[in-house]
């Protein structure tokens, strides 16, 4: 098993036991995590773009697709502002994933910090 030890993780204010990580720390560790973007396809390729190396898995399809994700790696969920990805993180946690995180602030914060995006 290969898990990432995030140093900047903070507890999500809306979901007990769910942790957020900052975009900058995700960028530093993105080669060692599975990044799942839970937005709609048009958002993924739209104005805000997406994190290079992330995969699209629309939130509505998560119950059917969760089993395709590795439980032995750190998984980080991403969305526009952090709300949908927090729900995805909570759902994964309830379904046996131990090392799952929400990217704080979503792609809005990622773009505000001027981190690299793919469109």
What tens digit of pLDDT does each residue of 27-37 get?
999 999 999 99
> Lowest mean pLDDT: which of 11-15, 45-49, 72-76?
11-15
Domains in the chain, CATH or no CATH each:
16-112 (3.40.250.10)
Catalytic, 79? Answer yes
Please give the Cα distance from 15 to 12 (Å, whole number). Answer: 6
List 18, 79, 92, 100, catalytic entry:
79
C-alpha closest to that of 15 among 75, 66, 109, 87: 87
> Lowest mean pLDDT: which of 7-11, 38-42, 83-87, 93-97?
7-11
pLDDT tier at 80, thresholds 50, 70, 90: very high
pLDDT digits (tens, 9 = 90+) for 92-101: 999 999 999 9
């Amino acid at each position: 098993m290969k898990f990432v030890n995030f140093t900047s993780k903070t507890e999500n204010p809306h979901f007990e036991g769910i942790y957020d990580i900052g975009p900058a720390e995700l960028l530093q560790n993105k080669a060692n995590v599975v990044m799942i973007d839970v937005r709609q396809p048009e958002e993924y390729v739209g104005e805000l773009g997406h994190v290079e190396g992330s995969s699209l898995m629309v939130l509505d399809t998560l119950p059917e697709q969760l089993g395709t994700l590795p439980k032995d790696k750190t998984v980080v969920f991403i969305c526009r502002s952090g709300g949908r990805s927090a729900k995805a993180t909570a759902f994964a946690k309830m379904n046996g994933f131990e090392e799952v995180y929400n990217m704080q602030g979503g792609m809005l914060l990622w773009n505000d910090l001027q981190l690299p995006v793919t469109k």
